[in-house]
Structure 1
Protein backbone atom coordinates (compact mmCIF):
# COMPACT_ATOMS: atom_id res chain seq x y z
CA UNK A 1 0.00 0.00 0.00
CA UNK A 2 2.80 2.39 0.92
CA UNK A 3 4.60 1.63 -2.35
CA UNK A 4 1.41 2.31 -4.32
CA UNK A 5 0.87 5.62 -2.55
CA UNK A 6 4.47 6.58 -3.21
CA UNK A 7 4.12 5.80 -6.91
CA UNK A 8 0.81 7.67 -7.10
CA UNK A 9 2.33 10.75 -5.47
CA UNK A 10 5.36 10.69 -7.75
CA UNK A 11 3.10 10.66 -10.81
CA UNK A 12 0.20 12.86 -9.72
CA UNK A 13 1.65 15.14 -7.04
CA UNK A 14 1.51 18.22 -9.31
CA UNK A 15 -2.10 17.41 -10.22
CA UNK A 16 -3.10 17.10 -6.56
CA UNK A 17 -1.39 20.37 -5.65
CA UNK A 18 -2.97 22.04 -8.67
CA UNK A 19 -6.37 21.02 -7.28
CA UNK A 20 -5.50 22.94 -4.11
CA UNK A 21 -4.35 26.10 -5.90
CA UNK A 22 -7.37 26.01 -8.22
CA UNK A 23 -9.64 25.65 -5.18
CA UNK A 24 -8.09 28.84 -3.80
CA UNK A 25 -8.81 30.59 -7.10
CA UNK A 26 -12.41 29.38 -7.10
CA UNK A 27 -12.84 30.62 -3.52
CA UNK A 28 -11.36 33.99 -4.50
CA UNK A 29 -14.03 34.56 -7.14
CA UNK A 30 -16.71 33.06 -4.85
CA UNK A 31 -16.03 35.92 -2.46
CA UNK A 32 -16.85 38.59 -5.03
CA UNK A 33 -19.85 36.65 -6.34
CA UNK A 34 -21.11 36.33 -2.75
CA UNK A 35 -21.20 40.15 -2.63
CA UNK A 36 -23.08 40.38 -5.90
CA UNK A 37 -20.10 41.38 -8.09
CA UNK A 38 -19.28 39.64 -11.36
CA UNK A 39 -15.54 40.35 -11.35
CA UNK A 40 -13.30 38.52 -13.83
CA UNK A 41 -10.02 40.07 -12.68
CA UNK A 42 -8.83 37.06 -10.69
CA UNK A 43 -6.53 35.76 -13.41
CA UNK A 44 -4.81 39.16 -13.42
CA UNK A 45 -4.52 39.13 -9.63
CA UNK A 46 -3.10 35.61 -9.81
CA UNK A 47 -0.51 36.85 -12.31
CA UNK A 48 0.52 39.72 -10.02
CA UNK A 49 0.96 37.35 -7.09
CA UNK A 50 2.87 34.82 -9.19
CA UNK A 51 5.29 37.31 -10.75
CA UNK A 52 5.82 39.36 -7.58
CA UNK A 53 6.67 36.27 -5.54
CA UNK A 54 8.80 34.67 -8.26
CA UNK A 55 10.87 37.83 -8.81
CA UNK A 56 11.47 38.24 -5.09
CA UNK A 57 12.63 34.63 -4.86
CA UNK A 58 14.80 34.54 -7.98
CA UNK A 59 16.31 38.04 -7.85
CA UNK A 60 16.45 38.82 -4.13
CA UNK A 61 16.32 35.41 -2.46
CA UNK A 62 13.66 36.38 0.07
CA UNK A 63 12.34 33.68 2.47
CA UNK A 64 9.35 31.74 1.20
CA UNK A 65 6.84 32.91 3.87
CA UNK A 66 7.72 36.55 3.15
CA UNK A 67 7.42 35.88 -0.58
CA UNK A 68 3.93 34.43 -0.10
CA UNK A 69 2.90 37.47 1.93
CA UNK A 70 4.22 39.76 -0.82
CA UNK A 71 2.36 37.68 -3.41
CA UNK A 72 -0.85 38.43 -1.53
CA UNK A 73 -0.08 42.10 -0.82
CA UNK A 74 0.71 43.10 -4.42
CA UNK A 75 -2.68 42.14 -5.94
CA UNK A 76 -4.53 43.33 -2.83
CA UNK A 77 -2.96 46.78 -3.21
CA UNK A 78 -3.77 46.83 -6.92
CA UNK A 79 -7.37 45.79 -6.18
CA UNK A 80 -7.69 48.66 -3.71
CA UNK A 81 -6.37 51.15 -6.27
CA UNK A 82 -8.61 50.06 -9.15
CA UNK A 83 -11.56 49.27 -6.90
CA UNK A 84 -12.46 52.90 -6.28
CA UNK A 85 -13.54 53.64 -9.87
CA UNK A 86 -14.30 50.08 -10.98
CA UNK A 87 -16.73 49.03 -8.25
CA UNK A 88 -19.09 51.85 -9.17
CA UNK A 89 -20.04 49.62 -12.10
CA UNK A 90 -22.24 46.55 -11.85
CA UNK A 91 -23.29 43.53 -13.85
CA UNK A 92 -21.83 43.09 -17.31
CA UNK A 93 -20.11 46.49 -17.16
CA UNK A 94 -18.12 45.42 -14.09
CA UNK A 95 -17.28 42.13 -15.82
CA UNK A 96 -16.00 43.99 -18.89
CA UNK A 97 -13.92 46.43 -16.82
CA UNK A 98 -12.29 43.70 -14.72
CA UNK A 99 -11.69 41.55 -17.78
CA UNK A 100 -9.96 44.52 -19.41
CA UNK A 101 -7.80 44.91 -16.30
CA UNK A 102 -6.71 41.29 -16.61
CA UNK A 103 -5.73 41.82 -20.22
CA UNK A 104 -3.79 44.97 -19.30
CA UNK A 105 -1.83 42.99 -16.71
CA UNK A 106 -1.06 40.27 -19.26
CA UNK A 107 0.10 42.77 -21.89
CA UNK A 108 2.30 44.63 -19.40
CA UNK A 109 3.92 41.35 -18.35
CA UNK A 110 4.37 40.45 -22.00
CA UNK A 111 6.15 43.70 -22.87
CA UNK A 112 8.24 44.24 -19.72
CA UNK A 113 10.99 41.97 -21.03
CA UNK A 114 13.73 43.30 -18.79
CA UNK A 115 11.78 42.44 -15.62
CA UNK A 116 9.34 39.64 -16.45
CA UNK A 117 11.13 37.90 -19.30
CA UNK A 118 8.41 38.92 -21.75
CA UNK A 119 6.92 36.16 -23.87
CA UNK A 120 9.62 33.76 -22.65
CA UNK A 121 8.39 34.09 -19.08
CA UNK A 122 10.38 33.34 -15.95
CA UNK A 123 12.34 30.10 -15.79
CA UNK A 124 14.19 28.37 -12.99
CA UNK A 125 11.82 29.30 -10.16
CA UNK A 126 12.76 27.14 -7.14
CA UNK A 127 10.17 24.47 -6.34
CA UNK A 128 9.50 25.61 -2.78
CA UNK A 129 5.80 24.77 -2.62
CA UNK A 130 5.15 21.61 -0.62
CA UNK A 131 1.88 19.77 -0.16
CA UNK A 132 1.42 21.08 3.36
CA UNK A 133 1.80 24.67 2.15
CA UNK A 134 -1.17 24.23 -0.18
CA UNK A 135 -3.18 22.29 2.41
CA UNK A 136 -2.53 24.86 5.13
CA UNK A 137 -3.40 27.75 2.81
CA UNK A 138 -6.64 26.09 1.71
CA UNK A 139 -7.72 25.27 5.26
CA UNK A 140 -6.86 28.78 6.47
CA UNK A 141 -8.80 30.42 3.63
CA UNK A 142 -11.80 28.14 4.17
CA UNK A 143 -11.85 28.94 7.90
CA UNK A 144 -11.51 32.65 7.20
CA UNK A 145 -14.31 32.68 4.63
CA UNK A 146 -16.56 30.51 6.82
CA UNK A 147 -16.07 32.88 9.75
CA UNK A 148 -16.68 35.83 7.46
CA UNK A 149 -19.82 34.27 6.03
CA UNK A 150 -21.49 33.72 9.42
CA UNK A 151 -20.48 37.16 10.68
CA UNK A 152 -22.31 40.45 10.34
CA UNK A 153 -20.19 41.29 7.29
CA UNK A 154 -21.19 38.02 5.63
CA UNK A 155 -24.85 38.78 6.18
CA UNK A 156 -24.24 42.22 4.68
CA UNK A 157 -22.67 40.53 1.63
CA UNK A 158 -25.77 38.42 1.20
CA UNK A 159 -28.07 41.42 1.53
CA UNK A 160 -26.05 43.37 -1.05
CA UNK A 161 -26.17 40.42 -3.45
CA UNK A 162 -29.94 40.18 -3.14
CA UNK A 163 -30.71 43.91 -3.37
CA UNK A 164 -27.95 46.51 -3.25
CA UNK A 165 -30.33 49.49 -2.99
CA UNK A 166 -32.31 47.98 -0.12
CA UNK A 167 -29.08 47.09 1.71
CA UNK A 168 -27.92 50.68 1.43
CA UNK A 169 -31.23 52.00 2.71
CA UNK A 170 -30.88 49.71 5.74
CA UNK A 171 -27.66 51.48 6.68
CA UNK A 172 -25.13 48.97 5.34
CA UNK A 173 -21.81 50.24 4.00
CA UNK A 174 -22.27 48.90 0.48
CA UNK A 175 -19.10 50.45 -0.95
CA UNK A 176 -17.00 49.27 1.99
CA UNK A 177 -18.31 45.70 1.77
CA UNK A 178 -17.67 45.57 -1.97
CA UNK A 179 -14.15 46.86 -1.52
CA UNK A 180 -13.46 44.32 1.24
CA UNK A 181 -14.66 41.43 -0.93
CA UNK A 182 -12.70 42.69 -3.93
CA UNK A 183 -9.42 43.19 -2.05
CA UNK A 184 -9.66 39.96 -0.06
CA UNK A 185 -10.51 38.01 -3.20
CA UNK A 186 -7.46 39.53 -4.92
CA UNK A 187 -5.22 38.53 -2.00
CA UNK A 188 -6.46 34.93 -2.15
CA UNK A 189 -5.91 34.81 -5.92
CA UNK A 190 -2.41 36.21 -5.39
CA UNK A 191 -1.69 33.51 -2.81
CA UNK A 192 -2.76 30.86 -5.32
CA UNK A 193 -0.50 32.45 -7.94
CA UNK A 194 2.49 32.53 -5.59
CA UNK A 195 2.05 28.89 -4.60
CA UNK A 196 1.58 27.84 -8.21
CA UNK A 197 4.66 29.78 -9.38
CA UNK A 198 6.86 27.92 -6.90
CA UNK A 199 5.35 24.62 -7.97
CA UNK A 200 5.75 24.67 -11.75
CA UNK A 201 9.31 26.11 -12.17
CA UNK A 202 8.02 28.37 -14.98
CA UNK A 203 5.41 31.08 -15.44
CA UNK A 204 4.47 33.01 -18.58
CA UNK A 205 1.96 35.77 -19.46
CA UNK A 206 -0.22 33.46 -21.55
CA UNK A 207 -1.09 31.45 -18.43
CA UNK A 208 -3.13 34.36 -17.07
CA UNK A 209 -5.21 35.45 -20.03
CA UNK A 210 -8.90 35.29 -20.87
CA UNK A 211 -8.94 31.48 -20.91
CA UNK A 212 -7.73 31.34 -17.31
CA UNK A 213 -10.26 33.95 -16.21
CA UNK A 214 -13.14 31.95 -17.70
CA UNK A 215 -11.82 28.76 -16.15
CA UNK A 216 -11.79 30.30 -12.67
CA UNK A 217 -15.35 31.56 -13.10
CA UNK A 218 -16.49 28.17 -14.40
CA UNK A 219 -15.10 26.42 -11.30
CA UNK A 220 -17.20 28.56 -8.97
CA UNK A 221 -20.37 28.40 -11.08
CA UNK A 222 -20.04 24.65 -11.65
CA UNK A 223 -19.74 23.83 -7.97
CA UNK A 224 -22.24 26.45 -6.83
CA UNK A 225 -21.85 29.65 -4.84
CA UNK A 226 -24.42 28.76 -2.20
CA UNK A 227 -21.71 27.36 0.08
CA UNK A 228 -17.95 27.11 0.41
CA UNK A 229 -18.06 23.46 -0.64
CA UNK A 230 -19.26 24.31 -4.14
CA UNK A 231 -16.20 26.20 -5.45
CA UNK A 232 -13.85 23.54 -4.06
CA UNK A 233 -15.89 20.80 -5.75
CA UNK A 234 -15.89 22.73 -9.03
CA UNK A 235 -12.11 23.15 -8.82
CA UNK A 236 -11.63 19.42 -8.26
CA UNK A 237 -13.83 18.51 -11.25
CA UNK A 238 -12.30 20.97 -13.71
CA UNK A 239 -8.74 20.11 -12.64
CA UNK A 240 -9.14 16.34 -12.82
CA UNK A 241 -11.40 16.27 -15.89
CA UNK A 242 -8.66 17.16 -18.43
CA UNK A 243 -6.60 14.24 -17.09
CA UNK A 244 -9.53 11.88 -17.57
CA UNK A 245 -10.15 13.28 -21.07
CA UNK A 246 -6.53 13.67 -22.11
CA UNK A 247 -7.31 12.65 -25.70
CA UNK A 248 -9.60 15.71 -25.91
CA UNK A 249 -7.06 18.12 -24.39
CA UNK A 250 -7.21 20.48 -27.38
CA UNK A 251 -10.96 20.88 -26.80
CA UNK A 252 -10.57 21.77 -23.11
CA UNK A 253 -11.99 25.29 -23.52
CA UNK A 254 -14.92 23.95 -25.55
CA UNK A 255 -15.67 21.42 -22.82
CA UNK A 256 -15.44 24.10 -20.11
CA UNK A 257 -17.84 26.35 -22.06
CA UNK A 258 -20.27 23.48 -22.63
CA UNK A 259 -20.19 22.62 -18.92
CA UNK A 260 -20.89 26.25 -18.02
CA UNK A 261 -23.87 26.44 -20.40
CA UNK A 262 -25.35 23.15 -19.13
CA UNK A 263 -24.95 24.20 -15.51
CA UNK A 264 -26.62 27.56 -16.10
CA UNK A 265 -29.52 25.89 -17.94
CA UNK A 266 -30.17 22.87 -15.74
CA UNK A 267 -28.39 23.54 -12.42
CA UNK A 268 -28.38 27.32 -11.99
CA UNK A 269 -27.30 27.00 -8.37
CA UNK A 270 -24.45 24.63 -9.22
CA UNK A 271 -23.85 20.99 -8.36
CA UNK A 272 -23.59 21.59 -4.61
CA UNK A 273 -26.98 23.14 -3.91
CA UNK A 274 -27.89 22.80 -0.25
CA UNK A 275 -31.51 23.87 -0.83
CA UNK A 276 -31.94 21.17 -3.49
CA UNK A 277 -30.45 18.54 -1.16
CA UNK A 278 -32.91 19.55 1.55
CA UNK A 279 -35.82 19.24 -0.87
CA UNK A 280 -34.69 15.74 -1.83
CA UNK A 281 -34.34 14.82 1.85
CA UNK A 282 -37.79 16.15 2.72
CA UNK A 283 -39.34 14.38 -0.29
CA UNK A 284 -37.70 11.11 0.72
CA UNK A 285 -38.96 11.55 4.29
CA UNK A 286 -42.52 12.10 3.08
CA UNK A 287 -42.41 8.91 1.01
CA UNK A 288 -41.47 6.79 4.00
CA UNK A 289 -44.37 4.81 5.52
Structure 2
Protein backbone atom coordinates (compact mmCIF):
# COMPACT_ATOMS: atom_id res chain seq x y z
CA UNK A 1 0.00 0.00 0.00
CA UNK A 2 1.25 3.46 -0.88
CA UNK A 3 2.30 5.48 2.14
CA UNK A 4 0.03 8.50 1.44
CA UNK A 5 -2.95 6.19 0.96
CA UNK A 6 -2.15 4.33 4.17
CA UNK A 7 -1.93 7.63 6.07
CA UNK A 8 -5.25 8.80 4.63
CA UNK A 9 -7.00 5.55 5.51
CA UNK A 10 -5.55 5.61 9.02
CA UNK A 11 -6.72 9.19 9.50
CA UNK A 12 -10.22 8.30 8.35
CA UNK A 13 -10.36 5.27 10.67
CA UNK A 14 -9.19 7.40 13.60
CA UNK A 15 -11.77 10.08 12.79
CA UNK A 16 -14.51 7.48 12.64
CA UNK A 17 -13.40 6.06 15.99
CA UNK A 18 -13.44 9.48 17.66
CA UNK A 19 -16.76 10.62 16.13
CA UNK A 20 -18.96 9.53 19.08
CA UNK A 21 -16.92 11.76 21.41
CA UNK A 22 -17.73 14.87 19.35
CA UNK A 23 -21.11 14.07 17.76
CA UNK A 24 -23.90 14.38 20.29
CA UNK A 25 -26.50 14.10 17.52
CA UNK A 26 -27.78 10.54 17.19
CA UNK A 27 -28.66 11.22 13.54
CA UNK A 28 -24.98 11.74 12.65
CA UNK A 29 -24.02 8.48 14.33
CA UNK A 30 -26.89 6.67 12.61
CA UNK A 31 -25.64 7.84 9.23
CA UNK A 32 -22.18 6.66 10.28
CA UNK A 33 -23.54 3.18 11.02
CA UNK A 34 -25.26 3.14 7.63
CA UNK A 35 -21.94 4.01 5.97
CA UNK A 36 -20.25 1.12 7.77
CA UNK A 37 -22.96 -1.29 6.62
CA UNK A 38 -22.77 -0.17 2.99
CA UNK A 39 -18.97 -0.21 3.15
CA UNK A 40 -19.13 -3.91 4.03
CA UNK A 41 -21.56 -4.52 1.16
CA UNK A 42 -19.53 -2.58 -1.41
CA UNK A 43 -16.18 -4.10 -0.43
CA UNK A 44 -17.59 -7.63 -0.45
CA UNK A 45 -19.27 -7.15 -3.84
CA UNK A 46 -15.96 -5.84 -5.18
CA UNK A 47 -14.42 -9.25 -4.44
CA UNK A 48 -16.80 -10.75 -6.99
CA UNK A 49 -17.19 -7.87 -9.44
CA UNK A 50 -13.85 -6.11 -9.31
CA UNK A 51 -11.35 -8.82 -8.37
CA UNK A 52 -12.85 -12.04 -9.76
CA UNK A 53 -14.54 -10.33 -12.71
CA UNK A 54 -17.93 -12.01 -12.17
CA UNK A 55 -21.10 -9.96 -12.66
CA UNK A 56 -23.58 -10.09 -9.80
CA UNK A 57 -26.73 -8.08 -9.12
CA UNK A 58 -27.92 -10.17 -6.19
CA UNK A 59 -25.95 -8.70 -3.30
CA UNK A 60 -29.04 -7.28 -1.61
CA UNK A 61 -30.39 -10.84 -1.51
CA UNK A 62 -27.50 -11.99 0.70
CA UNK A 63 -27.90 -8.78 2.68
CA UNK A 64 -31.53 -9.69 3.34
CA UNK A 65 -30.81 -13.35 4.01
CA UNK A 66 -28.39 -12.43 6.78
CA UNK A 67 -30.82 -9.90 8.27
CA UNK A 68 -33.82 -12.26 8.21
CA UNK A 69 -31.78 -15.15 9.60
CA UNK A 70 -30.93 -13.07 12.68
CA UNK A 71 -34.51 -11.79 12.99
CA UNK A 72 -36.08 -15.25 12.74
CA UNK A 73 -33.50 -16.69 15.14
CA UNK A 74 -34.39 -14.06 17.73
CA UNK A 75 -38.15 -14.39 17.23
CA UNK A 76 -38.28 -18.21 17.28
CA UNK A 77 -35.32 -19.14 19.47
CA UNK A 78 -34.56 -16.01 21.49
CA UNK A 79 -31.11 -15.70 19.88
CA UNK A 80 -29.25 -12.43 20.33
CA UNK A 81 -26.77 -10.59 18.16
CA UNK A 82 -23.77 -12.72 19.10
CA UNK A 83 -25.45 -15.93 17.97
CA UNK A 84 -27.44 -14.31 15.16
CA UNK A 85 -24.27 -12.91 13.56
CA UNK A 86 -22.58 -16.27 12.84
CA UNK A 87 -25.95 -17.74 11.85
CA UNK A 88 -26.55 -14.95 9.34
CA UNK A 89 -23.03 -15.32 7.95
CA UNK A 90 -23.38 -19.10 7.59
CA UNK A 91 -26.79 -19.06 5.88
CA UNK A 92 -25.76 -16.28 3.50
CA UNK A 93 -22.53 -18.15 2.67
CA UNK A 94 -24.48 -21.31 1.80
CA UNK A 95 -26.77 -19.28 -0.46
CA UNK A 96 -23.68 -17.71 -2.02
CA UNK A 97 -22.41 -21.21 -2.79
CA UNK A 98 -25.73 -22.07 -4.45
CA UNK A 99 -25.55 -18.95 -6.60
CA UNK A 100 -21.86 -19.51 -7.35
CA UNK A 101 -22.51 -22.91 -8.91
CA UNK A 102 -24.08 -21.45 -12.09
CA UNK A 103 -21.07 -19.12 -12.34
CA UNK A 104 -18.97 -22.17 -13.20
CA UNK A 105 -20.71 -22.39 -16.58
CA UNK A 106 -21.98 -18.84 -17.20
CA UNK A 107 -20.26 -15.50 -17.61
CA UNK A 108 -21.01 -11.93 -18.61
CA UNK A 109 -24.61 -11.00 -19.30
CA UNK A 110 -25.86 -14.55 -18.83
CA UNK A 111 -24.50 -14.64 -15.29
CA UNK A 112 -26.02 -11.21 -14.64
CA UNK A 113 -29.45 -12.53 -15.63
CA UNK A 114 -29.09 -15.49 -13.26
CA UNK A 115 -28.14 -13.23 -10.36
CA UNK A 116 -31.08 -10.92 -11.07
CA UNK A 117 -33.37 -13.94 -11.09
CA UNK A 118 -31.91 -15.06 -7.74
CA UNK A 119 -32.46 -11.58 -6.30
CA UNK A 120 -36.09 -11.65 -7.48
CA UNK A 121 -36.71 -15.10 -6.01
CA UNK A 122 -35.33 -14.06 -2.63
CA UNK A 123 -37.42 -10.88 -2.59
CA UNK A 124 -40.58 -12.79 -3.50
CA UNK A 125 -39.80 -15.33 -0.80
CA UNK A 126 -39.46 -12.58 1.79
CA UNK A 127 -42.78 -11.03 0.78
CA UNK A 128 -44.86 -14.17 0.18
CA UNK A 129 -43.65 -16.63 2.82
CA UNK A 130 -45.57 -14.78 5.51
CA UNK A 131 -45.54 -17.60 8.07
CA UNK A 132 -41.74 -17.40 8.22
CA UNK A 133 -40.87 -13.83 7.28
CA UNK A 134 -43.97 -11.89 8.32
CA UNK A 135 -44.52 -10.69 4.76
CA UNK A 136 -44.65 -6.94 4.24
CA UNK A 137 -45.00 -6.40 7.99
CA UNK A 138 -41.55 -7.86 8.56
CA UNK A 139 -40.13 -8.81 11.95
CA UNK A 140 -39.20 -6.54 14.83
CA UNK A 141 -35.91 -7.04 16.69
CA UNK A 142 -34.94 -6.30 20.26
CA UNK A 143 -31.77 -4.21 20.78
CA UNK A 144 -28.46 -5.75 21.80
CA UNK A 145 -27.97 -5.85 25.56
CA UNK A 146 -25.30 -3.32 26.47
CA UNK A 147 -25.48 -1.58 23.09
CA UNK A 148 -28.86 0.14 23.37
CA UNK A 149 -27.46 3.64 22.84
CA UNK A 150 -26.52 4.83 19.37
CA UNK A 151 -22.97 5.70 20.46
CA UNK A 152 -22.28 2.16 21.68
CA UNK A 153 -23.89 0.55 18.65
CA UNK A 154 -21.81 2.85 16.44
CA UNK A 155 -18.62 1.51 18.02
CA UNK A 156 -19.81 -2.07 17.52
CA UNK A 157 -20.62 -1.39 13.86
CA UNK A 158 -17.21 0.22 13.38
CA UNK A 159 -15.41 -2.84 14.76
CA UNK A 160 -17.43 -5.29 12.65
CA UNK A 161 -16.94 -3.25 9.47
CA UNK A 162 -13.20 -2.84 10.07
CA UNK A 163 -12.91 -6.60 10.57
CA UNK A 164 -14.73 -7.20 7.27
CA UNK A 165 -12.49 -4.74 5.40
CA UNK A 166 -9.36 -6.28 6.95
CA UNK A 167 -10.43 -9.78 5.89
CA UNK A 168 -11.11 -8.52 2.37
CA UNK A 169 -7.73 -6.78 2.21
CA UNK A 170 -5.91 -9.91 3.36
CA UNK A 171 -7.75 -12.02 0.79
CA UNK A 172 -6.96 -9.68 -2.09
CA UNK A 173 -3.27 -9.76 -1.14
CA UNK A 174 -3.17 -13.55 -0.86
CA UNK A 175 -2.68 -16.28 -3.44
CA UNK A 176 -6.46 -16.45 -3.80
CA UNK A 177 -6.49 -12.75 -4.66
CA UNK A 178 -3.87 -13.32 -7.34
CA UNK A 179 -6.01 -16.12 -8.76
CA UNK A 180 -9.02 -13.78 -8.82
CA UNK A 181 -7.03 -11.21 -10.79
CA UNK A 182 -5.87 -13.83 -13.28
CA UNK A 183 -9.46 -15.05 -13.61
CA UNK A 184 -10.67 -11.50 -14.21
CA UNK A 185 -8.00 -10.68 -16.80
CA UNK A 186 -8.16 -13.91 -18.84
CA UNK A 187 -10.04 -16.94 -17.55
CA UNK A 188 -8.88 -19.21 -20.37
CA UNK A 189 -5.21 -18.38 -19.75
CA UNK A 190 -5.67 -18.76 -15.98
CA UNK A 191 -7.08 -22.24 -16.50
CA UNK A 192 -4.33 -23.13 -18.98
CA UNK A 193 -1.54 -22.34 -16.50
CA UNK A 194 -3.12 -24.62 -13.92
CA UNK A 195 -5.03 -22.21 -11.66
CA UNK A 196 -8.15 -23.62 -10.01
CA UNK A 197 -10.65 -21.18 -11.45
CA UNK A 198 -13.61 -23.25 -10.23
CA UNK A 199 -12.62 -22.92 -6.58
CA UNK A 200 -11.73 -19.25 -7.11
CA UNK A 201 -15.18 -18.42 -8.47
CA UNK A 202 -16.99 -20.28 -5.74
CA UNK A 203 -14.74 -18.75 -3.11
CA UNK A 204 -15.51 -15.23 -4.33
CA UNK A 205 -19.27 -15.77 -4.18
CA UNK A 206 -19.20 -17.52 -0.81
CA UNK A 207 -16.93 -14.98 0.91
CA UNK A 208 -18.79 -12.00 -0.55
CA UNK A 209 -22.15 -13.47 0.51
CA UNK A 210 -20.86 -14.18 4.02
CA UNK A 211 -19.73 -10.56 4.50
CA UNK A 212 -23.02 -9.29 3.07
CA UNK A 213 -24.85 -11.55 5.52
CA UNK A 214 -22.89 -10.01 8.39
CA UNK A 215 -23.85 -6.55 7.12
CA UNK A 216 -27.48 -7.69 7.06
CA UNK A 217 -27.36 -8.77 10.70
CA UNK A 218 -25.81 -5.45 11.64
CA UNK A 219 -28.47 -3.54 9.70
CA UNK A 220 -31.30 -5.54 11.25
CA UNK A 221 -30.17 -4.68 14.77
CA UNK A 222 -29.51 -1.08 13.74
CA UNK A 223 -33.05 -0.38 12.56
CA UNK A 224 -34.41 -2.98 15.01
CA UNK A 225 -36.43 -4.81 12.43
CA UNK A 226 -36.55 -6.19 8.89
CA UNK A 227 -38.93 -5.60 5.98
CA UNK A 228 -38.63 -6.93 2.40
CA UNK A 229 -38.45 -3.48 0.79
CA UNK A 230 -34.97 -2.95 2.22
CA UNK A 231 -33.59 -5.80 0.10
CA UNK A 232 -34.81 -5.17 -3.44
CA UNK A 233 -33.05 -5.09 -6.79
CA UNK A 234 -32.71 -1.32 -6.32
CA UNK A 235 -30.57 -1.94 -3.24
CA UNK A 236 -28.39 -4.28 -5.29
CA UNK A 237 -28.09 -1.60 -7.98
CA UNK A 238 -27.04 0.95 -5.35
CA UNK A 239 -24.29 -1.37 -4.08
CA UNK A 240 -23.06 -1.92 -7.66
CA UNK A 241 -23.04 1.86 -8.14
CA UNK A 242 -20.87 2.27 -5.05
CA UNK A 243 -18.31 -0.14 -6.49
CA UNK A 244 -18.35 1.45 -9.94
CA UNK A 245 -18.15 5.06 -8.71
CA UNK A 246 -15.33 4.29 -6.30
CA UNK A 247 -13.39 2.04 -8.65
CA UNK A 248 -13.60 -1.70 -9.21
CA UNK A 249 -10.79 -3.95 -8.08
CA UNK A 250 -9.25 -1.31 -5.81
CA UNK A 251 -10.83 -2.23 -2.44
CA UNK A 252 -10.52 1.37 -1.23
CA UNK A 253 -12.65 2.59 -4.13
CA UNK A 254 -15.81 0.83 -2.92
CA UNK A 255 -15.20 2.31 0.54
CA UNK A 256 -15.17 5.78 -0.98
CA UNK A 257 -18.23 4.95 -3.08
CA UNK A 258 -20.09 3.77 0.03
CA UNK A 259 -19.33 7.03 1.83
CA UNK A 260 -20.28 9.28 -1.10
CA UNK A 261 -23.48 7.47 -2.11
CA UNK A 262 -24.67 7.20 1.49
CA UNK A 263 -24.00 10.81 2.43
CA UNK A 264 -25.10 12.36 -0.89
CA UNK A 265 -28.83 11.48 -0.59
CA UNK A 266 -28.79 12.83 2.96
CA UNK A 267 -27.12 16.03 1.82
CA UNK A 268 -29.70 16.40 -0.97
CA UNK A 269 -32.57 16.16 1.50
CA UNK A 270 -33.12 19.93 1.12
CA UNK A 271 -34.37 19.17 -2.41
CA UNK A 272 -36.62 16.28 -1.47
CA UNK A 273 -38.81 16.52 -4.59
CA UNK A 274 -35.81 16.49 -6.93
CA UNK A 275 -33.34 14.42 -4.92
CA UNK A 276 -33.53 11.30 -7.09
CA UNK A 277 -33.20 13.35 -10.29
CA UNK A 278 -30.12 15.16 -8.99
CA UNK A 279 -28.69 11.90 -7.69
CA UNK A 280 -29.21 10.21 -11.06
CA UNK A 281 -27.64 13.05 -13.01
CA UNK A 282 -24.58 13.09 -10.77
CA UNK A 283 -24.23 9.32 -11.25
CA UNK A 284 -24.33 9.70 -15.05
CA UNK A 285 -21.71 12.45 -14.97
CA UNK A 286 -19.46 10.39 -12.71
CA UNK A 287 -19.64 7.30 -14.90
CA UNK A 288 -18.98 9.29 -18.10
CA UNK A 289 -16.17 11.41 -16.65
CA UNK A 290 -14.49 8.68 -14.59
CA UNK A 291 -15.35 5.26 -16.09
CA UNK A 292 -12.65 3.63 -13.93
CA UNK A 293 -14.05 5.17 -10.78
CA UNK A 294 -12.46 7.79 -8.59
CA UNK A 295 -9.75 5.60 -7.07
CA UNK A 296 -9.24 3.71 -10.33
CA UNK A 297 -8.61 6.95 -12.23
CA UNK A 298 -6.22 8.17 -9.53
CA UNK A 299 -4.26 4.91 -9.64
CA UNK A 300 -4.05 5.03 -13.44
CA UNK A 301 -2.71 8.58 -13.29
CA UNK A 302 -0.11 7.56 -10.69
CA UNK A 303 1.04 4.67 -12.91
CA UNK A 304 1.40 7.00 -15.90
Query: Does residue 292 of structure 2 align to residue 269 of structure 1?
Result: yes
User: SS at the partner of 1:144?
Assistant: helix
- Residue equivalent to 2:191: 168
TM-score in terms of structure 1 length: 0.89
Judged with a 3 Å threshold, the aligned counterparts in structure 2 of structure 1 residues 13 and 120 are, in CA distance, closer, same or farther, namely same
260-269 vs 236-245, which moves further: 260-269
Partners of 1:40 and 1:217 within 8 A in 2: yes
1:171-218 superposed Cα distances (whole Å, 9 cap, x missing partner) = 111111000000000001111011000010222111111110100000
1:183 corresponds to = 206
CA RMSD of aligned residues (A): 2.1
Equivalent in the alignment of 2:165: 142
- SS of the equivalent of 1:245 reads helix
Q: Select 1:19's aligned residue among 31, 35, 47.
A: 35
* Distance (Å, rounded) in 2 between the aligned partners of 1:249 and 1:190: 31
Shift of 1:250: 5.4
Give 1:15 shift: 0.8
Out of 61, 81, 86, the position equivalent to 1:64 is 81
CA contact (8 A) 1:25 1:188 kept: yes
Pairwise CA distance, 1:62: 1.5
2:106 paired residue number: 89
CA distances 1:153-176 after superposition (whole Å, capped 9, x unpaired): 111111110111111101111111
Q: Within the alignment, does 1:154 sit opposite 2:171 as a pair? A: no
Cα pair distance change 1:159/1:86, threshold 3 Å? closer
- CA distance, structure 2, for counterparts of residue 250 and residue 161 of structure 1: 41
* Residue deviations 1:265-286 (CA, integer Å, cap 9, x gap): 221211112423415xx7xxxx
Distance 1:195 1:46 in 2: 10
Change (3 A) 1:87 1:213: farther
Name structure 2 gaps, 5 residues minimum. Answer: 1-18, 148-152
Establish whether residue 51 from structure 1 lines up as the match of residue 75 from structure 2: no
Q: 1:248 to 1:95 in 2, by over 3 A?
A: farther
Contact in 1 for aligned 2:269/2:275 (Cα 8 Å): no
Corresponding residue to 2:225 among 192, 202, 208: 202
Correspondence list, 1:193-232, <5 A: 193-232=216-255
CA change 1:202–1:254 in 2 (3 A) is farther
Residue of structure 1 equivalent to 2:126: 109
Q: Is the 8 A contact 1:218 1:256 kept in 2?
A: no
Normalising by structure 2, we get a TM-score of: 0.85
Question: Distance between the aligned counterparts of 1:18 and 1:270, measured in 2?
Answer: 22
Q: 1-side partners of 2:163 and 2:257: how far apart?
A: 19
- The gaps in structure 1 that reach 5 residues or longer are 283-289
Aligned match of 1:245 = 268
